[in-house]
């Protein structure tokens, strides 16, 4: 049966528009052809044609461990990580085009070349676009908490999403998460505790030292929210 080009499940994001600033447009014009992946669509502008499978060695021009960051935003974390680890390849999945453009600006300024970006719905990307067992690390920093109870169903981290994370991670691969909303942190803890696909200590982790202090984390700290980190490892059998 052909997959529907229209989404039947709630998505975890709000598709935000917004014009590019002059600087962002210049960065996009100079960098997008080389660093933004052209993803074939199947309906909405953030959809992924289920027949499309990412060929990471071709896209990056080398074979290296792949780190995927979901919701890479303006690129603060992913560009920092790529600078710190030139031996790794980084793929940012983001639906906000000005955020992708700003990431390109920062990459250009910092001389970072081991990042690629895709404007996609992450759940679709993990379902078909990213090959099974091809991801060394999966990172989700401060996803939209959808804090109103009636919107909780739109949260990204669910048992169904955990199955997608398990699909793409290599055996022994690491899934890292962070949030400043305790209610969402509790949900993440419950999801990780309830999956048979991951080894999980059942408690919060120390703050991941590879994550820079982003504006989202800073905003949470300013209003005295506790930052929760979680870490789970894909089981090898």
Beta bridge partners of residue 92, listed in sequence order: 69, 117
Q: Determine which one of 49, 144, 197, 229 is catalytic.
A: 144
Beta bridge partners of residue 233, listed in sequence order: 174, 199
| Beta strand residue intervals within 41-100, DSSP E | 66-70, 89-93
Torsion angle, CA of 77/79/83/87, rounded to 10 degrees? 100
Encode 132-175 in three state secondary structure: CCCEEEEEEECCCCCCCHHHHHHCCCCHHHHHHHHHHEEEEEEE
CA distance 18 to 50: 28
Beta bridge partners of residue 234, listed in sequence order: 198
Find tokens 């700290």 and name the residue.
Answer: 221
183 is an active site residue: no
Q: Could you give the residue numbers annotated as active site?
A: 144
């Amino acid at each position: 049966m052909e997959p529907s080009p229209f989404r039947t499940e709630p998505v975890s994001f709000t598709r935000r528009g917004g014009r590019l600033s002059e600087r962002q447009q210049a960065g996009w014009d100079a960098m997008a052809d080389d660093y933004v992946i052209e993803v074939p669509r199947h309906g909405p502008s953030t959809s992924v044609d289920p027949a499309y499978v990412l060929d990471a060695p071709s896209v990056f021009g080398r074979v290296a461990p792949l780190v995927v960051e979901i919701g890479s935003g303006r690129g603060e974390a992913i560009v920092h990580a790529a600078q710190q680890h030139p031996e790794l390849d980084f793929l940012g999945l983001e639906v906000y085009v000005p955020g992708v453009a700003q990431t390109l600006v920062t990459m250009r300024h910092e001389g970072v070349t081991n990042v690629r970006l895709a404007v996609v719905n992450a759940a679709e990307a993990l379902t078909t676009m990213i090959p099974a067992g091809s991801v060394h690390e999966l990172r989700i920093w401060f996803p939209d908490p959808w804090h109103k109870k009636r919107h909780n169903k739109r949260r990204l981290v669910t048992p169904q999403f955990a199955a997608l994370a398990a699909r793409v991670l290599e055996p022994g691969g690491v899934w890292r998460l962070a949030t400043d909303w305790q209610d969402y942190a509790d949900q993440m803890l419950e999801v990780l505790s309830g999956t048979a696909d991951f080894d999980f200590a059942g408690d919060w982790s120390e703050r991941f030292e590879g994550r820079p202090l982003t504006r989202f984390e800073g905003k949470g700290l300013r209003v005295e929210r506790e930052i929760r980190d979680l870490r789970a490892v894909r089981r090898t059998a």
